[in-house]
Amino acid sequence: MSTTNYIGKAPSRVDGPAKVTGAATYAAEYNVPGLTYGWVVSSPIAKGKITKIHADEVLVLPGVLQVFSHENVPSLAWFDRSYKDQVAPGGSPFRPLHDNEIKFSQQPVALIVAENFELARYAASVLRIEYEAAPHETNLETKRQEGFEPGRGKTGYMPPPPPRGNPDKAWEEAAHRMEAEYVHGTQHHNPMELFATTVEYHANGKITAYDKTQGVYNVQAYLTKIFGLSKDNCRVVNEYMGGGFGSGLRPQYQVFLAVLAALELKRSVRVTLTRQQMFSFGHRPHTLQYLKLATNPDGTLAAVQHHALHETSQFEDYTENVVNWSGMLYQCDNVKLGYQLAKLDVYTPLDMRAPGAATGSIGLEVAMDEMAYAAGLDPLEFRLRNYAEKDQNMNKPFSSKKLRDCYHQGAAKFGWDKRTQEPRSMRDADGKLVGWGIGGGAWDASQMKSAAKATITADGKLLVLSASGENGTGTYTIMTQIAAETLGLPLEAVTFRLGDTDQPEAPLQGGSWTAASVGTAVKNTCEALGEKLLKLAQKMEGSPLKNANFEDVEFVNGQIRLRTDANQAVVLRDVLQASGEAKIEVDGSAMPNMVKQMPYSMHSHNMVFAEVKVDEDLGTVHVTRVLNAVAAGRILNQKTARSQVLGSVVWGISMALMEETVMDHKFGRYMNHNYAEYHVPVNADIHDIDVIFVEEEDDIVNPLGVKGIGEVGMLGVAAAIANAVFHATGKRVRDLPIMIDKLL
Amino acid sequence: MNSFTYHRATAIGDAVQEKAEHPGSAYIGGGTNLLDLMKENVERPTHLVSVGKLPLAAIESLPDGGLRLGAMATNADTAWHEDVKQRYPLLNQAILAGASPQLRNMATNGGNLMQRTRCYYFYDLATPCNKREPGSGCSAIGGYNRIHAILGTSEACIATHPSDMCVALAALAPSVRVSGPNGERSIPFEDFHRLPGNEPEKDNTLEPGELILSLDLPAQGFSKNFSYLKLRDRSSYAFALISVAAALELDGHIITDARLALGGVAHKPWRDQAAENLLKGQPATAETFARVAARVVENAQGQGSNDFKIELARRAIVRALKQAAEGTQKASDVFLNSNP
């Protein structure tokens, strides 16, 4: 039994003590000498022009350093491509303070910089700005007939596959049919930590931007292109993030404003957004989905049709994969998928946890429930009859798919066999209606190019660097586990650092690909370091490893030893001492093995079982039990992985029952833009949540066999709850969230 | 800078005088609402008179058998005071249904009465609001008004009073003892808050400079048969869509006295004495409750997004009266648990 095997175990977060003691530093907490403070002024109108900014009235206040606006922004990069970041959709990215045009409500129109925060804030409150409003349109309902099919534009977006079979005829002639529209409103990410940037302006004109971002390299590229900085002069750092959920994938406007001010004033500047301003940028788009399903007499799907329309801004075509899943999740030969956008006077939507899939799984999985009822089948049995053995969109087999195990293990643990099919047929001891529902989905198992550096010092301590991100997911912990296990070191001897453009490049922290991408890079790099260490070990006098190849040895418990004979070993620290080197360093990287992966469709899957209790008279719903059965390849850390899925379920409950950003179309403005009125669950809303990770081996996705779990846990949760509400009450609510009024 | 001066009052007279001498000043107790309003630039007092250290935090019995709740006692200390739990458990339940433990630890009883509406438009300076800026218009009418009033509205304002505590107080009918430039007086609770009419900027009937000293509860506490029912969009830390304070005196099956007040429905905590009279002398049955509930919402008017509140209020009244009749609700040492 070795003690340095950590992968698949449940060590606690290595960054936990730093977080709970306050030692972890967030973007707005870097205190640098001579710091100045910026306050963003936001537009009260949704469309029109700025006609006059009375900057002179606040510039006279002692301590106000500058009012930045379109009137005094220096000449910056001209072409759109300079403003495009790694995940920018097609179109022209928003340029803060570019001209006098107002494109959306709460658009930043000025940045006031002052010697202290209170002064900047006060100046903003008295700054007079005159506007000429123009008619705006913010209501997706009015754009139903004006949808258009977007181009590819954005990384990761796949247009729906062409229709297959004869989906119209198959639907018309089928034994059982359903058709319905499903709707959810706009949602904002609302991580606890506000967006903020602290720019340290160095004496030599270099800057360090401590920025809230899920990708320091993405922000560095954005800044260097716009402000004409060299990479050496623009370091971007994010060591910790108080939640991201996708909101930090694109550079937000505060980093632009803070850097602009720092370069112009030659001072260090901090800009922190307010909670209200957290509703002024990307969001999960308001989406309308139309589904038509039909079954054959044997309960197999005869036709699947899924069409989605969602909002985007006037200036960019934000895309996400909403409908494609419906051509892949279940076996069906007659499929038609459609996807359209409509332009509104709002900011561009932005990837938000399981973008597209979280939305699509609401439509498809509620429709599947409706179809099961129409066909007289148990919803789980209906899914088993339509189990997809291959990905029909791609016409490829799955690299692995243990979804059936999710069904069976989940059903057994949840007690699904005790469910009675009839709506309103189950009640608890107090007479409340009880409902059980299911829903699930799939998410891509992706791997991106990633690099790392590993350094071991004479005292046996290992430092591994890769500019990835930690927004609460457990990146620090799993990378430490991988590095420690690869080189046979105790966890305490390993430090993993991330979030700094001085480190080797890692991809954006998103897409559920961090474990696969950075994890493989860390593994490869540590193995390369291991090879060096083996060579040094072989130079030692009387080394028992003299004739061993790298494949013949293993690194365990601080030793390098022969796999075939554990007694033939050398102590790693002795190797380092004997080498006479103060440190040994290697750079490494990992790329997806395209040749190996190409023939396969690679996905994680899940199935969620939910129980609700409904007080029918008062319309209140409580989600009393949720079980999420997940097949996501190898689980690196049982504890952090479980936490991720618990968080996903909580957010799914939120999506189902309470979360919605409400627009007043008269003003084209989100009105519940604060934590008091934008509702997410509190502890009292959360009851039993259970997670099953089914065993799933997959040596195709990557050498670690991991698929990532950032998004998959979110899928089907809202649908399972909506289906459970139907089972409890007989009422089919098709527009989320299911608030009290919809059940009266 | 947004400068204001600050004075910590040492005596009631000192506070009243300080306030009178400084136009544009405001009293500050726990600050749980005023500070929010100042951060949002909704209120911009130039001078703050802190009344938090005044000797007004006591909770003590009155000679008439009632209970005096000091204006500066915190909501938490009030809810968990033994006399409140024993004699006015309805008040315990209503307080604990509101806000969060942290807020209740700071918020004072006087401040609870003085808190302002949570109307989205009142808080957002980008939109017109008659309450914030008289004459600018009401954006909630014809706008997003899920949390707005269905009773006693005017063409100028459809905001609601956000308090839970005040709904129970409306049912328990204390007098509000105040002190001002013209001396002390008592205001019946029912007359303390006002309907918006043409002056929605006025939340209550306090004269300029008046300070709340205490809430004097009458002896009758309805400690056996009461219910506070709060319906909201999540289980805690959300304002009421509808809340109901119901209190009954029963002689066997017959209702001999009744109190009924609603929150989340009007510009003030909404006590319905006509409905109370309808309950008196009637048997405590589902039919009685349904008849009374229908009567309460008879003149209710929806504004679009809050139309559902009329039906929800009707059902909530029936449920709260039923729970009160059953006498199953008890004072709590924790919080009002809305779990299944």
- The pLDDT tens digits for A287-307 are 999 999 999 999 999 999 999
A627 pLDDT more than 60:
yes
Identify the three-state secondary structure at position A714.
helix
- Give the integer Cα–Cα distance in Å for A634 and A586: 27
- Give the integer Cα–Cα distance in Å for A51 and A69: 12
Contact A432 B319 (CB under 8 A): no
DSSP string, A612-642: EEEETTTTEEEEEEEEEEEE-B--S-HHHHH
Nearest residue, CB atoms, B234 vs list A671, A673, A682 = A682
- The pLDDT tens digits for A27-59 are 999 999 999 999 999 999 999 999 999 999 999
- Give the integer Cα–Cα distance in Å for B121 and B140: 7
- The pLDDT tens digits for A673-727 are 999 999 999 999 999 999 999 999 999 999 999 999 999 999 999 999 999 999 9
Report the DSSP beta bridge partners of residue A692: A629
Nearest residue, CB atoms, A125 vs list B41, B237, B241 = B41
Would you state the structure tokens that stand for residue A307, as one six-digit string?
């069409």
Output the CA angle A317-A220-A203, nearest 5 degrees: 145
- Give the integer Cα–Cα distance in Å for A101 and A97: 9
Mean pLDDT of B155-184: 98
Would you state the structure tokens that stand for residue B170, as one six-digit string?
């409306």
Mean pLDDT of A564-588: 95
Mean pLDDT of B3-10: 95
B247 pLDDT more than 90:
yes
Two domains, one topology: B5-52 and B227-326: no
- Give the integer Cα–Cα distance in Å for A371 and A723: 12
Identify the three-state secondary structure at position B167.
helix
pLDDT score recorded for residue B333: 79
What residue has token string 């799914």?
A652
Mean pLDDT of B234-245: 96
Q: Tell me which chain A residues have a C-beta less than 8 angstroms from the C-beta of B239.
A: 676
- The pLDDT tens digits for B251-291 are 999 999 999 999 999 999 999 999 999 999 999 999 999 99
Taking CA atoms, what residue in B is nearest to A662? B144
**Binding-face residues of A in 50-69 toward B, CB within 8 A:** 61
Taking CA atoms, what residue in A is nearest to B340? A622
> In chain B, what is the straight-line distance between the N-terminal and C-terminal CA atoms, in Å?
49
User: Could you tell me how far CA A262 lies from the centroid of its own chain?
Assistant: 30
**Binding-face residues of A in 475-514 toward B, CB within 8 A:** none
Taking the Cβ of residue A5 and every Cβ of chain B, the question of whether any pair is shorter than 8 Å is answered with no
Taking the Cβ of residue B147 and every Cβ of chain A, the question of whether any pair is shorter than 8 Å is answered with yes
Nearest residue, CB atoms, B1 vs list A118, A432, A676 = A118
Taking CA atoms, what residue in B is nearest to A619? B312
Contact B239 A676 (CB under 8 A): yes
Q: Give the ipTM.
A: 0.96
B335 pLDDT more than 70:
no
The CATH number of the domain covering residues in B5-52 = 3.30.43.10
Q: Residue type at A635?
A: I
What residue has token string 């969230």?
A737
Q: Tell me which chain A residues have a C-beta less than 8 angstroms from the C-beta of B312.
A: 618-619, 740-741, 744
A67 pLDDT more than 70:
yes
Taking CA atoms, what residue in A is nearest to B120? A671
**Binding-face residues of B in 189-218 toward A, CB within 8 A:** none
Chain B nearest CA to A614, separation (Å): 9
Q: Nearest to residue A100, comparing CAs of A167, A163, A47?
A: A47
Half-sphere exposure of A496 (CA within 13 A, CB side): 29
- Give the integer Cα–Cα distance in Å for A372 and A383: 9
Q: Is there a contact between A500 and A445 (Cβ–Cβ < 8 Å)?
A: no
Contact B312 A744 (CB under 8 A): yes
Taking CA atoms, what residue in A is nearest to B307? A741
- Give the integer Cα–Cα distance in Å for A471 and B254: 61
Contact B315 A618 (CB under 8 A): yes
What residue has token string 């006609």?
A51
Taking CA atoms, what residue in A is nearest to B39? A121
Mean residue pLDDT of chain A comes to: 97
| Proportion of chain A above pLDDT 90, given as a percent | 99
Taking the Cβ of residue A104 and every Cβ of chain B, the question of whether any pair is shorter than 8 Å is answered with no
Report the DSSP beta bridge partners of residue A684: none
User: Could you tell me how far CA B139 lies from the centroid of its own chain?
Assistant: 24
Tell me which architecture the domain covering B227-326 has in CATH.
Answer: 2-Layer Sandwich (3.30)
Out of A365, A611, A659, A711, pick the active-site residue: A711
Q: Tell me which chain B residues have a C-beta less than 8 angstroms from the C-beta of A676.
A: 118, 237-239
Chain A nearest CA to B144, separation (Å): 6
Phi-psi region of B156 (alpha: psi -120 to 50; beta: other; left: phi over 0): alpha
**Could you give all domains of chain A from N- to C-terminal order, each with its CATH number?**
16-22+447-591 (3.30.365.10), 32-134+195-272 (3.90.1170.50), 157-185+283-446+599-743 (3.30.365.10)
Mean pLDDT of B93-106: 95
**Binding-face residues of B in 2-61 toward A, CB within 8 A:** 2, 41
Please state the domain extents for chain B. 5-52, 227-326
CA distances from A229 to A158, A248, A265 (A): 34, 22, 16
pLDDT band at B175 (very low <50, low <70, confident <90, very high): very high
pLDDT band at B1 (very low <50, low <70, confident <90, very high): low
Contact A684 B338 (CB under 8 A): yes
The two beta strands, A669-670 and B225-231, are unpaired
Chain B nearest CA to A634, separation (Å): 36
Q: Is there a contact between A216 and A197 (Cβ–Cβ < 8 Å)?
A: no
- Give the integer Cα–Cα distance in Å for A293 and A329: 13
pLDDT band at B209 (very low <50, low <70, confident <90, very high): very high
CA distances from A342 to A63, A142, A144, B142 (A): 45, 10, 8, 25
User: Could you tell me how far CA B220 lies from the centroid of its own chain?
Assistant: 19
A2 pLDDT more than 90:
no
pLDDT score recorded for residue B2: 72
Nearest residue, CB atoms, B118 vs list A617, A676, A684 = A676
- The pLDDT tens digits for A437-488 are 999 999 999 999 999 999 999 999 999 999 999 999 999 999 999 999 999 9
Phi-psi region of B86 (alpha: psi -120 to 50; beta: other; left: phi over 0): alpha
pLDDT band at B340 (very low <50, low <70, confident <90, very high): very low
* Total CB pairs under 8 A between chain A and B: 106
Choose the mutation target among B308, B319, B323, B335 for the interface with A, i.e. most A CBs under 10 Å: B308
Phi-psi region of A708 (alpha: psi -120 to 50; beta: other; left: phi over 0): left
pLDDT score recorded for residue B336: 57
pLDDT score recorded for residue B338: 52
Helix (H) or strand (E) holding B35: helix B34-39
Annotation says A193 is catalytic: no
Would you state the structure tokens that stand for residue B63, as one six-digit string?
């000679």
pLDDT score recorded for residue B339: 43
Taking the Cβ of residue A449 and every Cβ of chain B, the question of whether any pair is shorter than 8 Å is answered with no
- The pLDDT tens digits for A251-294 are 999 999 999 999 999 999 999 999 999 999 999 999 999 999 99
Q: Nearest to residue A314, comparing CAs of A348, A285, A352, A280?
A: A348
Residue A688, phi then psi, degrees to nearest 5? -75, 125
Mean pLDDT of A596-624: 98
Contact A679 B238 (CB under 8 A): yes
Taking the Cβ of residue B286 and every Cβ of chain A, the question of whether any pair is shorter than 8 Å is answered with no
- The pLDDT tens digits for A95-143 are 999 999 999 999 999 999 999 999 999 999 999 999 999 999 999 999 9
Taking the Cβ of residue A428 and every Cβ of chain B, the question of whether any pair is shorter than 8 Å is answered with yes
pLDDT band at A1 (very low <50, low <70, confident <90, very high): very low
Taking CA atoms, what residue in A is nearest to B241? A740
Taking the Cβ of residue B322 and every Cβ of chain A, the question of whether any pair is shorter than 8 Å is answered with no
